[in-house]
């Protein structure tokens, strides 16, 4: 009995190594810099910002209650935003859900010009000049897109451009569920 226990002892390093290797293998497909949002299934933060297009108009959280909507953080200086923009423009035409833009750390002139050039899928864009609302939403790398339900609870966050796959496989089914 003691000799077989002794033998098992010598296997311990190998066992530990295999466990580590397993984790490393799994890790090859994870992104160590992707930060999952702690806001999922929590109420979206309060916000009240001027609209980008019309500085006399203010939009706040209460205005969006009662419907499922998308919040898309974008900026004119953001190259990756251009990747997803055509898809958003096209999606907005289907009028499934309203898309609200969050113009993050931009200037009115640049933002408006960008929308004129690339299209405007947003029912309105929040003008977040100093990025504070972005911070409240946990934005760290535009573009980022949030799906928010009728009660104002955040249900999904996409970090990086929205791809057709993400739209088809994650966002649309979720919207359907939330609207049901």
Residues 138-177 within binding reach of other proteins (CB under 8 A): 138, 140-143, 159-161
Residue 72 Cβ, how far from other proteins at the closest point, in Å? Answer: 14
**Among residue numbers 38 through 57, which ones bind other proteins (CB under 8 A)?**
38-39
Does position 109 bind other proteins by CB under 8 A? Answer: no
Report the residue from 80, 151, 164, 179 that binds other proteins according to the rule CB under 8 A. Answer: 80
Nearer to other proteins, 140 or 173 (CB): 140
Stretch that binds other proteins, among 57-65, 88-96, 120-128, 132-140 (CB under 8 A): 132-140
Q: Rounded to the nearest whole angstrom, what is the least distance from the CB of residue 117 to other proteins in the complex?
A: 16
Nearest to 132 by CA among 49, 12, 75, 58: 49
Would you state the structure tokens that stand for residue 134, as one six-digit string? 């972005």
Residues near other proteins (CB under 8 A) are 6-7, 10-11, 13-14, 17-18, 20-21, 23-30, 32-39, 75, 77-81, 105, 130-132, 135-138, 140-143, 159-161
């Amino acid at each position: 009995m003691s000799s077989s226990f002794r033998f098992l002892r010598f296997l311990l390093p190998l066992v530990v190594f295999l466990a580590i290797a397993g984790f490393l293998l799994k890790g090859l497909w994870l992104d160590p810099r992707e930060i999952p949002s702690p806001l999922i299934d929590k109420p979206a933060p309060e916000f009240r910002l001027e609209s980008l297009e019309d500085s006399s108009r203010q939009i706040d959280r209460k205005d969006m209650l009662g419907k499922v909507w998308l919040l898309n953080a974008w900026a004119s200086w953001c190259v990756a935003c251009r990747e997803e923009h055509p898809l958003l423009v096209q999606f907005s035409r289907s009028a499934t859900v309203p898309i609200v833009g969050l113009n993050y750390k931009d200037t009115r002139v640049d933002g408006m010009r960008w929308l004129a050039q690339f299209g405007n899928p947003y029912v309105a864009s929040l003008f977040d000049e100093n990025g504070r609302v972005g911070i409240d939403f946990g934005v760290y790398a535009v573009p980022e897109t949030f799906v928010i339900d009728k009660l104002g609870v955040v249900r999904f966050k996409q970090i990086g451009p929205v791809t057709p796959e993400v739209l088809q496989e994650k966002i649309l089914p979720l919207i359907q569920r939330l609207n049901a």
